[in-house]
Amino acid sequence: MSLFRRLLTSRKKKQETPPQQPQESKYLPEDKPPIDEEFTINFRKNGGKFLYCEDLNEVSDAFDNILLENDWYETKVFCLDKNLTQRFDGYNLEFKTSGNNCSFMLTTCESLVADKGSILLSSNQLKGRKLMELPTNIVIYATTSQIVGNISDGMQIIKQQSKNGIPVNITTIRHFGEMKTDDFMMYGNSNKNLYLLLMEDF
């Protein structure tokens, strides 16, 4: 059963099931949702825009809707991934390897981190650039198999997949909405207007 259907089913059951009495013992561990559901909840809390797609046709439709919503047709796009430029060719976009004057960035990621609702990136996507050097608008293409429980799990996958040494410039994007200017915990972070095209691949 796909992630999208599971989420809809779980919501229906919650609405139909009468409220249960709370457990008497406060020492029982809390039920933790599956990591795909946990990621979705936390990602949306962070202000990310989530578009679930069951196949590549739905990915194309969702991408088309993003361009339409933001009037990004016939604009420059910052993209360092040749596979993505081929996959999303045909939208009258000008793909650039420099972020200057680009409407948005199109990229993949290393992992989707469930417990923080964040996106894990490395030099594989960013090369030598810092988050603050990227366009404010970012569209990320990822698959459901990239969802991990936490950053440590994501780092393990990076280590396992790295044939030419572990990539540098590993970072996460976590702030997708307006940041509070008086929150000192946000110092040095860069918030982004982020769309996630998440395709089912299980």
For the stretch 104-135, pLDDT in tens is 999 999 999 999 999 999 999 999 898 889 99
What is the share, in percent, of the chain residues with pLDDT greater than 70? 78
Domain at 33-177+190-199, CATH from 3.40.30.10, 3.40.50.300, 3.40.50.10420, 3.40.50.720 = 3.40.50.10420
Residue 22 pLDDT > 70: no
- Residue 31 identity: D
Please report which confidence band the pLDDT of residue 43 belongs to, taking 50, 70 and 90 as the band edges.
Answer: very high
- Those residues whose C-beta lies under 8 Å from the C-beta of residue 140, and which sit 6 or more positions away, are 107, 108, 109, 119, 194, 195, 196, 197
| Least-confidence region, from 50-64, 92-106, 157-171 | 157-171
Tokens representing 186 are 């946000």
The residue-averaged pLDDT of 175-197 equals: 64
